[in-house]
Structure 1
Amino acid sequence: MNTKFDITRAPQTPRPERAQTRDAAGHIRGVEATSGGLIRSTLLASGAAAAMLTIVYLPAEYGIDPTGFGAVLGLTEMGQIKQQLYAEAEADEAATANAPVTLDPDTLARLDRIEAQLATISAVIGAPSALTETPTPPATEAAAAPAPEPAPAPTAEAMAEPAAEVAPAATADAVEAAVAEANSNWRDEVSYTLAPGEGIEVKLAMQEGQTARFEWTANGAVVNYDTHGDGSGQKVSYEQGRGVPEQDGELTAAFTGNHGWFWRNRTDAPVTVTLRTAGDYAEMKAP
């Protein structure tokens, strides 16, 4: 006997009702969150932020790497370079803010030496009196000073004699000799050309208490400098400057070690730095 299957007579299994996800207007309702889920999400986000701070931000910005992953990723070195650049910029700003506005004794002494050299050269080549004579005092001082006695009139014989002439070759040799004598006191002289942003360091090996004379110039340009020393487990910074064209003076070692200068070219063009030294030191340590 063949019996046809009627699906309408099949037993129906009740389905579980789904949670209503739409409101009466047909809009989808938001998912309801539990307090446990919110706490778990907050903890996960906090952990991720802490991991980013420790693994990425601290090594990349401050060179601090507590986990060691910053060194693996190359971030620690970048952070250390940033901190070094920040410290250098702060040192330059501090040097500029504290830069004296009056001439220091070293500069005055150098001006005196230049005037003495000019006087020597003028005496050799016979410079005009306007370059060597003493400035006329104010009217009040001139009135108080006694009037100079008149010079005796030249005799006929003196007027008949021709004026002595200085041979050009002799004058040139005298000037060259005077300049050579002025520069003969230097023991060492070095020059370096720095590209924009480039720096260089030159030091003297000195014992504690030794004094060396120095003179450096940027040859018409300006540089930032730091006069410092290190050795015997000690460090010292003698002087710093920013945008300085030249300097001269004396350097006395505070302790046994290496003492000298660091220059950096912060301009947009190459700068040539020339250093001359003399005095008490064992040797010059230069690149």
Structure 2
Amino acid sequence: MNNETLIAIVGPTAVGKTALSIKLALELGGEIVSGDSMQVYKRMNIGTAKASKEELAQAPHHLIDILEPTEPWTVSMFQERALHAISEIRGRGNVPILVGGTGLYVQAITHEFSFAEAKADEDYRKQMEHYLHEHGSLALHHQLDEVDPVAAHTIHPNNTRRVIRALEVIHTTGTLFSEQPNERAKPRFDTAMIGLTMERNQLYERINKRVDLMLNDGLLDEVTRLFNDGVEGQAIQGIGYKEIYAFLRGECSFDSAVDQLKQNSRRYAKRQLTWFRNRSEANWFDVGNNREDKIFQDVQSFLAGKRRFRNE
């Protein structure tokens, strides 16, 4: 591990990561690097819960609104861009603050992940995508469970992109996905990883209210414009878009789409918490009990030279 420091804020959707990151950036002279897999896309503002224009103006933000929804985006591409942004932030004498709920994206920065070993196989990937379309996510997940049950246990069946990637890695390398070198990756930075959480019912209530607010703010119009423009592919698989697309295709009622959106968001939050608790070294703060002062004190102490970040 080198002695370069990094602040990281992680946790489930709707827990308050954006608000805290801006407060920390203002307090520390920081710049924010988005570790979200969806906020890179232009024209997808409401459904991805991007910071508002007013919030974005309060502190420099990176890796937001850099791609059209039709452009490809992978974790390795994110890693390259994010590490470059962090280097530039340090060059300006500012504090890099990584913020996100996409676990693999965060870990690709905090740890020395390498994505060069497993090359892409577009033909195989399309074959698996066709299999998914024909047989569904559970059947696809069963394929992974048959060849690598350890990986299957850690990847939710609904995370079909990750399931396909695991199968692709096994196919191209001949090595189990669960035994890839990245599973033992070393820390890249001395990271103060702040995990935000709150009581589950309170979090779920916040998620439901956020979805209602998104709809009031024009989520249906945002998704309809993408639908009418013929946008398909990776970006539209995000929560908030795939459910509305199903409604626009006539596959379900609007109320059913909204219910599914809320349910998928709650399930995603649960998976996020499980992932970060099991796969990261985050120190957890219950923001439902207003631990903000404690977070600020611990971060200031860490940056002043404390080599270990503890939530005690």
Indicate the structure with greater strand content: 1
Higher relative contact order (CA 8 A, sep 6+): 2
TM-score using structure 1 length = 0.19
Q: Between Structure 1 and Structure 2, whose CA radius of gyration is higher?
A: 1
